[in-house]
Amino acid sequence: METLNEELQASNEELETLNEELQATVEELNTTNDDLEARSLELQDLTISLEAQRRRIEFERTRLAAVLVNMSDAVLVMRPSGETILTNAAYDRLFHGPNAPMAAEDPEGNPLPPDESPRQRASRGETFRLEFVVREADGSRRWFEAIGEPIRQDGSEAGGVVVIRDITDRSLRRLQDEFLALASHELRTPLTVVRASLGMLDRYLPADADDRLRRFIDMGEQQVRRMERLIADLVDVTRLQTGRLSLRTQPIDLVELARQTVDLAQAMTDEQTIELEAGHRPLTVDGDRDRLQQVLLNLLTNTIAHAPESKRVDVRVRRSGGEAEVVVQDYGPGIPQADLPNLFSRYFSGSGLEHDGDSGLGLGLFITDQLVRAHGGTIRADSQPGEGATFTVRLPLASPPER
C-alpha cells in the first residue's frame, strides 16, 4: 500500500507538471493568437492604404494623361538608352508620330548634328534650351523651341523630358521687325536724294515752263512726304516693339499743346473746320511734348482722312477726376462695329478705314495707342454707324511740385 501510495504521488506530481506545461502552452497559443490578430489588423490597414494609394496614382495618371492630351506644346520623354518612353498628342501631330525621324535645322538653315538633336540631348539627361527649324513636306519651315530637363530616380539620372513649343509666329514677327528696321533705315537715303532732286528741278525750271511739269513735281514731292511718313511709322513701330523708344518727359500744358496741334491740322484741310474747346486754365501732364503732339496729330489727320463728310471736327481738352482728357469727335459715317475691337492693332486696315485708295500701313492708330500707353494713359474709340466716331485719350495729371 505504501509503495502504491508513493507511485500515486509520483504520478500526481507528473500530472501537475504536465498540467503546468499545458497551461504554459495555452498561454503561448493565446499570445500567438493575439499577435496574429494584431498582424491581421495591420494587414487590413495596409490593404486599405495601398488601395487608397492605388486610387491616387490612378487619379494622377488620368489627370496627367488629360493634361498631356490637351497641351498645345509637344512633350517627349526619353530613356538613357535612346528609347522613347512617352509622347503626347501634340508631339505626334507636329512630328508625325513618336518614332518618326526629326530632320531639324538651326535657325540659319544648317542641319543639326544627330548628337545635338532634342531627342539625343534628352536621352543624355541634359538641361538645355534650343531653337530649331523643321521643313515640312511642302517646303515650308516651322520654328520650334525645345526646353529639356533631366529625370532623376533614386538619386541617379534616368533619361530626360523635353517640352517643344511652336514659335513660328513669334519668329516670323521677329524677322519681320528686323526687316522693317533695316528697310526703313535703307530707304531714308534714296528718299533724301529724291527730295533734293525734285527741289533742284523745281528751282531750275524756267518761269514759262509748262504747268504740267510743276504739277508732276508737286505730285512727286507729295509721294516723297508720304513715303517719309510711312518710314517714320515703321521706325516708331520697331522702337515700340523692341522697347527702344525713349521719352523725354517734362511738365507740359496740354491745353497749349492742343491749340498748336489744332492749328497744324487745320492747315492741312480747307474742307473741315476743327473747333477746340479747352478753357483758359493750364492742364499739366508729364510727358514727351513731341510724342504727345504726334498722338493728337495722328487722331486729327486720321479724322480728316477718314471722315471727309464731317464738315466739323470737335476737340475737347478738360480735367476728368484725377486725369486729363482729350476728346476728338467727328460727325462722319462712323466706324463699323466689327472693326472697333481691332482698331488699335498693328497693320489693321478695316473696311471703314479706307479712303481715296490710300489706307497706309495700318500703323497710325497702333502707334497712337502705344504712345498713350507709354505715358501711362488709355485711349478708347466709340462709334455708331452714321453718327461719327469719338476718340478719348486719358492721361494722368502731373504731380504738384514739392515745396
- pLDDT tens per residue, range 251-273: 999 999 999 999 988 988 888 89
- CATH number for the region 171-242 comes to 1.10.287.130
Does residue 240 carry a pLDDT above 80?
A: no
Task: Write down the residue that cell numbers 525713349 correspond to.
Answer: 246
pLDDT tens-digit readout, 131-187: 888 887 777 778 898 999 998 776 666 788 899 988 887 766 666 666 666 766 677
pLDDT at 353: 45
Band of pLDDT at residue 239, cut at 50, 70 and 90: low
- The arithmetic mean of pLDDT across residues 222-237, rounded, is 73
Secondary structure of the chain in HEC code, one letter for each residue: CHHHHHHHHHHHHHHHHHHHHHHHHHHHHHHHHHHHHHHHHHHHHHHHHHHHHHHHHHHHHHHHHHHHHHCCCEEEEECCCCCEEEECHHHHHHHCCCCCCCCEECCCCCECCHHHCHHHHHHCCCCEEEEEEEECCCCCEEEEEEEEEEEEECCEEEEEEEEEEECHHHHHHHHHHHHHHHHHHHHHHHHHHHHHHHHHHHHHCCCCCCHHHHHHHHHHHHHHHHHHHHHHHHHHHHHHHHCCCCCCCEEEEHHHHHHHHHHHHHCCCCCCEEEEECCCCCCEEEECHHHHHHHHHHHHHHHHHHCCCCCEEEEEEEEECCEEEEEEEECCCCCCCCCHHHCCCCCCCCCCCCCCCCCCCCCHHHHHHHHHHHCCCEEEEEECCCCCEEEEEEEEECCCCCC
According to CATH, the topology of domain 250-396 is Heat Shock Protein 90 (3.30.565)
Band of pLDDT at residue 276, cut at 50, 70 and 90: very high
Q: Which grid cell sits at 199? A: 527741289
Looking at domain 71-166, which of 3.40.50.9100, 3.30.450.20, 3.40.1360.10, 3.40.50.920 is its CATH number? 3.30.450.20
More confident residue, 84 or 363: 84
pLDDT at 242: 60
% pLDDT > 70, the chain: 87
pLDDT tens-digit readout, 11-62: 988 998 999 889 999 999 999 998 998 898 899 999 998 898 888 888 887 8
pLDDT at 83: 86
Average pLDDT, the chain: 83
- The arithmetic mean of pLDDT across residues 321-327, rounded, is 90
